């Protein structure tokens, strides 16, 4: 049966809160993510040989990437007035178009 007590103080003398637990969980998830992502990238070629989404998948991804990327690039340009990121982003979208089409 749970009992209600004041939170146990940590070594610094402050009471522990739910925020400490949240931070521990976030750190653990970060560790899993950082260890798992390289493994996923290493397995992607093997997975791709077994699952073929077809050519329409690339066109769909391109159709989603263009408006979202243009929105982000234009918002960044409006805020910072820096042409270099805009130019690099447009060059990247152009290369994506060549690859997808």
* Greater model confidence, 48 or 81: 81
Q: Which residue has the higher pLDDT, 14 or 71?
A: 71
Residue 74: is its pLDDT beyond 90?
yes
Q: Are residues 15 and 8 in contact, defined by beta-carbon separation less than 8 angstroms?
A: yes
For the chain, which residues make up each domain, given as ranges? 1-52, 53-101
CA dihedral 98→43→45→49, nearest 10 degrees, is -130
84-95 pLDDT per residue, tens: 999 999 999 999
pLDDT score of 5: 53
pLDDT tens for each residue of 11-63: 655 656 888 888 899 999 999 999 998 998 898 888 878 887 777 888 888 99
Residue pair 65/96 in contact by the 8 Å Cβ criterion: yes
């Amino acid at each position: 049966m749970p009992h209600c007590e004041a939170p146990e103080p940590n070594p610094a003398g402050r009471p522990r809160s739910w925020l400490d637990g949240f931070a521990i969980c976030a750190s653990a998830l970060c560790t899993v993510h950082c260890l798992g992502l390289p493994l996923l990238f290493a397995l992607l070629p093997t997975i791709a040989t077994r699952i073929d989404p077809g050519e329409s998948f690339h066109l769909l991804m391109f159709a989603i990437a263009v408006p979202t990327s243009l929105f982000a690039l234009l918002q960044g340009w409006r805020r910072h007035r820096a042409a270099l990121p805009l130019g690099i982003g447009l060059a990247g979208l152009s290369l994506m178009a060549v690859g997808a089409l």
